[in-house]
Amino acid sequence: MNAIRDLRKYLRKDPSSQWAKVLAKLAVALANEQEFPLSELYRLPFEEFELAIAVMCDWRLDRYYAARMHLLDVVLNEVLSEELRR
């Protein structure tokens, strides 16, 4: 989740740079669950490449926690709701 914050700072610092545009496209692809060409990542300078990898790791972790919370909502509200009311 720090990488996502770092990406936001990076994009605000120089939004018109070539590398910011690549990273912004990556963020859009992640948000929309779309494909993103790896070749664009490989062209990034090392620091930006590391940021992209960290963003993908954080994004995956966030999705895991969101899915887990959704599961708990279903369990508590639909499966165990009767037992919890007693």
- Tens-place pLDDT, residues 41-79: 999 999 999 999 999 998 888 776 765 666 666 666 766
Domain membership of residue 74 as a residue range? 2-85
Give the pLDDT of residue 15.
Answer: 87
Q: What is the dihedral of CA 69, 73, 76, 79, to 10 degrees?
A: -120
Higher pLDDT, 71 or 24: 24
The contacts of residue 24 (CB under 8 Å, 6+ apart) are 11, 15
Reported pTM: 0.74
Number of domains the chain contains: 1
